[in-house]
Amino acid sequence: MSAQARSNLIGLTHEQLIVHLSMLGEKPFRARQLMKWIHQRGIVDFEAMTDISKPLRKRLSATTELLLPEIVQDYPSSDGSHKWIIRIASGSQVEMVYIPEAGRGTLCVSSQAGCSLDCSFCATGKQGFDSNLSSAEIVGQLWLATAQLGGFGPNAKRPISNVVMMGMGEPLLNFDNVMAAVNLMMDDCAWGLSKRRVTISTAGVVPAILRMQGQTDASLAISLHAPNDELRSQLVPINRRYPIRELLAAVRVYMDSLPDRRVPVIEYTLIKGINDHRRHARELAALLETFPCKINLIPFNPFEMSDFETPADAAVSNFRQILKQAGFTVTVRTTRADDISAACGQLVGAVADRTRRQDRYRRKLNENPDLAMGNFIICDSGRYSN
């Protein structure tokens, strides 16, 4: 079997491993053994897997590989967070971020090199798009971060309790690889993370949300960012194809398919003068009145190629209070790792952009700096227009 045709075992699910091993004449229990060596003990050398027979190790070495992405840069933050830049097979570089908090450690994982959706407030979208990450490159980020944080070994305590697919890319546009990766993260023979602690964040790819039924039972977060279609279509262009009502209906179908009583998280980035007014909060409360959810408010984090601004603390507080008074559970995401450009919305990596979007943005900005606002015009009344 040629090197190009080799299966990377790091990204194979339990079921996929069973199929692969059956073709080698091996029994299903070998899949559990391999998964525990790779994902629980951090071993990616077949020769070190001592309870697997030498003949099988030899066949695995000849027909498969254990290949991880490469860490090329390492950025520790003053607040204890950590960002790593990794190189993937396409040659692009993507980012993953570890955020420690009291009682938990969260890893923000990328699913694509760049992003095709071009949301106006997100640095990743301005980088254009190169490629999807393989399942091994996605779950490999969890492996690498765990190794970097000293989480392998007989007495090691796993530092990562939560994984969020909120890094670079739209996860549901890389559906098969993301499903395989998150299911590995939740598999007891692999990482064993709780289904409540593995979250897929989407800008609203409605057919893929519906397709998730029966494929996974990971938690779901929705990048909403506006209380109406007019504004959301400016901030999140995919809304022009899948408007809010259609999106919320699909989310409800998926959540109802889960065996427990989880609710989705509504993510709402607050941008000064764009979507942070009291009337937006009241409109959001009305929109979600009959939609069980939690709301996470995210003050905008500045980045190059955007003149959007972070809202005042008072605006964030007022927005939150209106939603709380309407009966919602509301959190405000504390800005972390902004000193290493790893806060929410700031991830950029180094994308071999096949869309030429980076060049177009920079050319337009040189010609007209006002376009950094994404064509938004803030009127004296505080209303938005385009």
From first CA to last CA, the distance across the chain in angstroms is 56
CB 104 within 8 A of CB 97: no
How far apart are the C-alpha atoms of 21 and 3, rounded to whole Å? Answer: 18
For the question of residue 95 being annotated catalytic, the response is yes
How far apart are the C-alpha atoms of 132 and 129, rounded to whole Å? Answer: 9
**Annotated catalytic residue: which of 137, 189, 344, 379?**
344
CB 93 within 8 A of CB 72: yes
How far apart are the C-alpha atoms of 200 and 213, rounded to whole Å? Answer: 13
**Annotated catalytic residue: which of 65, 70, 95, 309?**
95
Among 334, 348, 306, which Cα is nearest to 81's?
334
Altogether, the residues listed in the chain come to a count of 386
CB 373 within 8 A of CB 307: yes
For the question of residue 122 being annotated catalytic, the response is no
Q: How many other CB atoms are found less than 10 A from the CB of residue 383? A: 11
Which run of H or E residues covers position 119? Answer: none
Which residues are catalytically annotated?
A: 95, 344
